[in-house]
C-alpha cells in the first residue's frame, strides 16, 4: 500500500513542475546579456569622470537633491557664522553708538542714549501703544544733560499711525 503522504508529496512535485513552464516574454534572454554589459559600461564611464562632474550631473537630474544640498550649505554657513560671532563676543572696548555721534558725552551717558534711541525706534515701529505705556509721552524731551553740549538738538522720533 502506498503511503498517502508520499503520494501527496509526489503529486506536489508534479504540480511544482508547472512552474518550469512559466517563461518570460519571447526574446527576453536574447537581449539580456547586452543590457547587463551596457549597465556595466555605463558604470565604468561614470566612475572614470571627475567627482565634481558626477555631482553636477546628479544635481541636474535631481533638482530636489540640489535644493537639499543648497539648504544644507546655507544652514551650515549660518551656523558657522553664529559660532564665530559667539566665539569673538562683544568687545569691552566697543563704543556705544551715541558716543560715536556725540564724542563729548561720557561713556555711561552715551550708552544710555543709544539704548533709549534704539529701544524707542524699535518699540514705536512695532507697537506704538506699547511704547507709550513704557516710555510715557512721545513728545517729552530727552534729559537736559544729553542736549546741553555742542548745540546738539535731539529730535524725538516722529511716528505716524
Partner 1 sequence: MSLTATISSGEEVVKADLADERVLVKQAQNGELNAFDELVRRYQERIYATVYHMTANHEDANDLAQESFIKAYRALKSFKGDSSFFTWLYRIAINKTINHLKQKKNRSHMSLNDLDFNAEHDPDLVSLVSDKTPRREINLVELQERLNTAMQKLSHVHRLVVTLHDVQGLSHEEISRITDCNTGTVRSRLFYARQQLQAHLSDYLK
Smallest gap, in angstroms, from Cβ of residue 17 to partner 1?
6
In the complex, minimum distance from the CB of residue 46 to partner 1, in angstroms, rounded to a whole number: 12
Report yes or no: 101 and 117 within 8 Å, Cβ to Cβ.
no
C-alpha cell at 4: 498517502
| Site for partner 1, rule CB under 8 A | 8-9, 11-25, 29, 32-37, 39-41, 43
Give the shortest CB-64-to-partner 1 separation in angstroms: 22
CB atoms within 10 A of CB 119: 13
- Range list of H helices, 49-155: 51-61, 63-88, 97-101, 107-126, 128-135, 144-147
Nearest alpha-carbon partner for 90 in 109, 111, 106? 111
Distance of closest approach, residue 25 Cβ to partner 1, in angstroms: 8
Question: String of b and e for 141-150 (b: at least 16 CB within 10 Å)?
Answer: eeeeebeeee
Amino acid at each position: 500500500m502506498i503511503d498517502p503522504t508520499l503520494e501527496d508529496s509526489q503529486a506536489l512535485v508534479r504540480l511544482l513542475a508547472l512552474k518550469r513552464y512559466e517563461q518570460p516574454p519571447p526574446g527576453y534572454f536574447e537581449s539580456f546579456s547586452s543590457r547587463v554589459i551596457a549597465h556595466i559600461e555605463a558604470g565604468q564611464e561614470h566612475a572614470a569622470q571627475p567627482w565634481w562632474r558626477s555631482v553636477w550631473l546628479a544635481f541636474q537630474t535631481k533638482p530636489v537633491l540640489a535644493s537639499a544640498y543648497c539648504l544644507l550649505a546655507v544652514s551650515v554657513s549660518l551656523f558657522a557664522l553664529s559660532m564665530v560671532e559667539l566665539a569673538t563676543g562683544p568687545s569691552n572696548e566697543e563704543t556705544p553708538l551715541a558716543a560715536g555721534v556725540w564724542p563729548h558725552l561720557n561713556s555711561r551717558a552715551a550708552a544710555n542714549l543709544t539704548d533709549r534711541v534704539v529701544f524707542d525706534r524699535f518699540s514705536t515701529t512695532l507697537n506704538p501703544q506699547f511704547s507709550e505705556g513704557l516710555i510715557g509721552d512721545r513728545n517729552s524731551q530727552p534729559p537736559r544733560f544729553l542736549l546741553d553740549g555742542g548745540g546738539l538738538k535731539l529730535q524725538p522720533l516722529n511716528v505716524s499711525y
